[in-house]
Amino acid sequence: MVRLIPGIKMRPPRIEIRDLIALSAVSVMILVLFWPVVTLKSALLKGDYLSQFYPWLMVYSESVKHFTLPFWTRYVQCGFPLFAEGQIGPLYPLNLVLYFLLPFKAAYNYSFLFHLLGAGAAMFFYMRTIGAARYGSAIAALILCLGSTYAGAFINIANLQSLAYFPLTLMIAERCAGREKPGTKIYAALGFVWGIQLLAGSFQMTAYSVLFGMLYFFARRYPFGPGNAIRTAGGIIISAAVAVSISAPQLAATAELAGLSMRASRTLDFALWNSFSPLAAIALVLPSLGGIFVKSNSVYMGMSGLFLALVYFFSRENDVRKRVFLGTVIAALFFALGKYNPLYVFLLKAVELYSFRAPARLMYFVSFFLAAAAGKGFGYLFEERRNDGIKKASMAFFLITGISLSVFASLKVAFKFFMPEIRETLQKYVETGIYGKEFHRYSLDHYMAKLDLLMNETVRALSLASPDILYSLISVATASILVYVLQRESSRKKFLVNCFATLVIIDLVAAWSSFQGPFKNLAPYDSLAPREEKIYDLLKADQSLYRIATFGPQKELPEWIYFNTNTAWGIDSIGIYTPLMNRDYYLKMRDLGIVDDSIGTVPPIVKALEIYRELLGELNVKYVLSSVNLDEAFLKEVANENGLHLYILDTFLPRIRFEPLDLQGIKGNDRSVITGYDSGRVEATVSSGVEGKLIFAEKCYPGWVAFVDGKKVKIEKDQDILQSIRLSPGEHRVIFKFDPVLIKILMIISVLIFFACIVFLIRR
């Protein structure tokens, strides 16, 4: 017999037509803001979106439309296991459906919109599940989607897809909170959601989501007593087993790549990169100023939203969820502080878990539960008409606002009267604490220039003439007036309801379009076309098999030839940008300045092209595209357009070539002809009168196999990074192919488990 906890509802409230109307209003508002995305005129095409997700998803779209997966791509790093990189979510069910059925641009745009709307819907229904009022639930969904949680710049496509399911894990926890023995189906459902999150593309954010989901789960199960912890832990193990079973092929592939990447040798400094500065908390009131103190991961929910969250936390209701919300906010903030939290640094050193960077990303969970608290607070004030908590919430609101404005005023005074001293102090810090340190790879002049830029941005952010600051101050004043009137007006008439709701919406829209949001990452599709049309046409007219190498400062190179972006234009490059690039390739190529492990490129050494001239030729590099004029005898300039120079390299060698083992035995009739080539597979015919080796200028990576006349042969490394095989005299048919057998076996097993879970959950 199932025993229930008194006062806890077993089932969520019935969804009514008015709920759907409220959710539809939220969805329409989001679609209106993203109307250029809806109409396919614009998309997320800046920053990491352009240099990773857009080109990689284009390859993915082409693959699934031909009933295959991008296990390997030819376009970057002399070949790269794109499937293993994982951020595109190659096995994520919704990706498979959308990119198979829709044209690429529609799939790319609508996938983003679908998950943004889905996250809002999941938040709305989660709020209704925990008994939140209807319009309070809508407010929470709006804050989630348009505040710093999803509209914040740090949320990329992979993060958005994975985190959209976080509210569902909380709904499942709520579903079993009132049951002493929830049953296997509850834990299977939880594991199923976790598995989908792992497939969606962001392993790091999914790991965080699982961690906080488990904490929430245990907190909601605690009323049954400590003895229940063992049963709950057993259920969590079932959930983890289901999640791993569903996502096993992706986990195995990514783990293999990570073990061979730069992540395998990361240090404490890497793990603490982009910690959440305590000064960034000012973004609760002044988002444009707070964003200066942390890289993108701000926290903003509107001034009215902040007050509503405080109302919930200061209410007198003995609600266990209030303690869970507050505890989660504190825990997430504790970890997000990173290097600013000595205890966190100590714990990190103790466990030596350095693979995850950017602790500030944990501010997602701070923002999420503050949004949920705001939704509950709105319901308390204007739907349940409760008076408790208003006075204390008002005091806390004015205290937070006052401290923020005091910090603003202090900074303004300091920068006005002590600018030289501040600059000198910061310059000394740059010289001793940044320049020359790990992951700070550039010259001292580079960092001094960045310091000057930061100082100028801070001065602008402190200016009362700044539109962002001006709006923030108006918003603060308006919200303060509403809070003051609210204390006087105990009945809280409909006018106040409309004022609070309107201010929440205005604040969020303003933040979306100005302070942070994806607005700055939107660009028209027609802006992608190469401006260097003559150079582009020359490259596309060359039908031979070749690669390009770029040279020069990143900011001076056109985007269409930069790392990964070249993929979208069907041009093979030896450059790459990914946190999981192969370590051996990075160490071999870093002095050329053409590899970026998501920390930045190493500036090319002097005479890099001359030093690496022979190696570049062996990597099948035919063209060098440079933003600076190169006066080298081994480079022949063939075009110059918009400051971009196109050179032909005189050491260019074919992608497959035969080299005799005995150089004295060359007879002059050796030849190799490629008869078929695509990502992950090449066929060639080779003939020679002497014994030698056949070099395939493709990255050597586990999973590649080679066949000579139908017989499997051993692949050896050439130049530490390429592939080669031994060949006897005569004519041979050679095949190289990338065939990750274990991953394909795991895919079959995981698909069976996936559908078995669906059948089990539907039947139960």
Cβ atoms of 39 and 525 within 8 Å: the answer is no
Taking the model in full, what pTM does it have? 0.91
Nearest Cα to Cα of residue 624 among 597, 657, 594, 654: 594
Q: Which residues contact 562 (CB under 8 A, 6 or more apart)?
A: 51, 550, 554, 575, 577
- Beta carbons of 680 and 72 less than 8 angstroms apart: yes
673 with 684: CB under 8 angstroms?
A: yes
Range of the structural domain that residue 606 is part of: 531-649
Do 156 and 95 lie in one domain? The reply is: yes
Largest CA distance in the chain: 100
Question: What is d(CA 383, CA 246) in angstroms, rounded to the nearest whole number?
Answer: 42
d(CA 296, CA 566): 26
Query: Distances from the Cα of 577 to the Cαs of 47, 458, 477, 594, in angstroms?
Result: 12, 30, 45, 9
Establish if 560 belongs to a structural domain. yes
171 falls within a domain: no
Indicate if 123 and 203 belong to the same structural domain.
no
DSSP state of 573: B
Q: How many C-beta atoms lie closer than 10 Å to residue 84's C-beta?
A: 26
CA–CA distance, 485 with 497 (Å, rounded to integer): 12
For helices 54-64 and 93-101, give the axis angle rounded to 10 degrees: 80
Q: Based on the domain organization, do 342 and 467 belong to the same domain?
A: yes
Residue 465 phi, psi (nearest 5)? -85, -10
Residues 26, 141, single domain; the answer is: yes
**Among 465, 486, 520, where does a domain finish?**
520
CA-based angle 573:577:581, to the nearest 5? Answer: 95
Task: With respect to residue 373, please indicate whether it lies within any of the assigned structural domains.
Answer: yes
Tokens of 37: 């995305």
Q: Can you give the length of the chain in residues?
A: 764
The token pair at 717 is 């490394």
Mean pLDDT of successive 10-residue stretches along the chain, which has 764 residues: 38 73 91 92 89 94 95 95 94 95 96 93 93 90 84 71 93 78 82 94 91 86 64 84 94 93 79 86 86 76 90 84 90 91 88 82 91 91 77 92 92 90 90 79 84 88 86 89 78 73 84 66 88 94 94 86 92 93 92 87 85 94 93 92 93 92 64 88 91 93 94 92 92 94 93 90 77
Cα gap 151→513, rounded to integer Å: 9
Q: Are residues 415 and 559 in the same domain?
A: no
Instruction: Name the residue with tokens 């204007």.
Output: 382
Which pLDDT does position 90 carry in this prediction? Answer: 95
The one-character DSSP state at 296 is S
Q: Report the alpha-carbon distance of residue 416 to residue 332 in Å, rounded.
A: 35
Q: Are 726 and 712 in contact (CB under 8 A)?
A: no
Tell me, yes or no, whether 341 lies in a domain.
Answer: yes
Instruction: Tell me the C-alpha distance between 49 and 20, whole Å.
Output: 32
User: Helix H segments across 147-297?
Assistant: 157-163, 166-175, 184-200, 203-221, 228-259, 268-271, 287-290
Tokens of 726: 């031994």
Q: List, in sequence order, every beta strand (DSSP E) within 470-599.
A: 522-524, 547-551, 576-577, 595-596
Q: Which two tokens stand for residue 529?
A: 């076309």
Contact yes or no for 336/360 (Cβ under 8 A): yes
Residues 6+ apart with CB under 8 A from 405: 285, 476
Residue 754 lies in a domain: no
Using only C-alpha atoms, what is the Rg of the chain? 29
Exposed/middle/buried for 416, CB within 10 Å: 0-12, 13-18, 19+? Answer: exposed
Decide if 675 contacts 659 (C-beta within 8 A): no
- 313 with 453, same domain? yes
Tally of domains within the chain: 4
Contact predicate 371/137, CB 8 Å: no
Residue 572 and residue 484 share a domain: no
**DSSP 3-state helix, strand, coil percentages of the chain (rounded to 5)?**
60, 10, 30
Rounded Cα gap, residues 764 and 762, in angstroms: 5
Please compute, for residue 32, the number of CA atoms within 13 A of its CA located in the half-sphere on the CB side: 7
The CA distance from 621 to 611, in Å, is 15
Residue 264 lies in a domain: no
Task: Give the pLDDT of residue 227.
Answer: 62
How far is the C-alpha of 346 from the C-alpha of 348, rounded, in Å? 5
CB atoms within 10 A of CB 56: 24
Q: Which of 744, 627, 580, 588 is nearest to 56 (CA)?
A: 580
709, 681 Cβ separation under 8 angstroms:
no
602 in the same domain as 463: no
Q: Which residues contact 760 (CB under 8 A, 6 or more apart)?
A: 185, 188
Does 477 share its domain with 585?
no
Q: Are residues 441 and 546 in the same domain?
A: no
Query: Which residues sit opposite 673 in a β-bridge?
Result: 685
What is the rounded CA–CA span in Å between residue 144 and residue 152? 10
CA distance 758 to 764: 10
Instruction: Give the pair of three-digit tokens for residue 716.
Output: 């050896």
The predicted structure's pLDDT at residue 269? 82
CB under 8 Å to 455, separation ≥6 — which residues?
Answer: 419, 422, 423, 426
Residue type, 394: S
3-class SS of residue 95: helix
Domain boundary among 649, 672, 700: 649
In whole angstroms, what is the distance from residue 747 CA to residue 753 CA?
10
What is the C-alpha end-to-end distance of the chain, expressed in Å? 18
Question: Which residue reads 């409309």 in tokens?
Answer: 498
The strand pair at 595-596 and 576-577 is best described as: parallel
DSSP secondary structure string for all residues of 113-175: HHHHHHHHHHHHHHHHHTT--HHHHHHHHHHHHHSTTTSSTT--HHHHHHHTTHHHHHHHHHH
Six token digits for residue 101: 């059925």
Distance CA 32, CA 40 (A): 13
Are both 681 and 735 inside the same structural domain? yes
3 lies in a domain? no
Residue whose C-alpha is closest to residue 469's, from 286, 618, 242, 316: 286
Cα distance between residue 329 and residue 334, in whole Å: 8
* 494 within a domain of the structure (yes/no): yes
DSSP 12: P
Instruction: Tell me which amino acid residue 345 is.
Output: V
pLDDT at 1: 32
Of 463, 490, 520, the residue at which a domain comes to its end is 520
Look up residue 752 and give its amino acid: L
Residue 432's DSSP bridge partners are none
As a whole number of angstroms, the distance between CA 578 and CA 390 comes to 49
Same domain, 597 and 694: no
Domain CATH code at residue 687? 2.60.40
**Listed residue (64, 70, 68) closest to 97, CA to CA:** 64
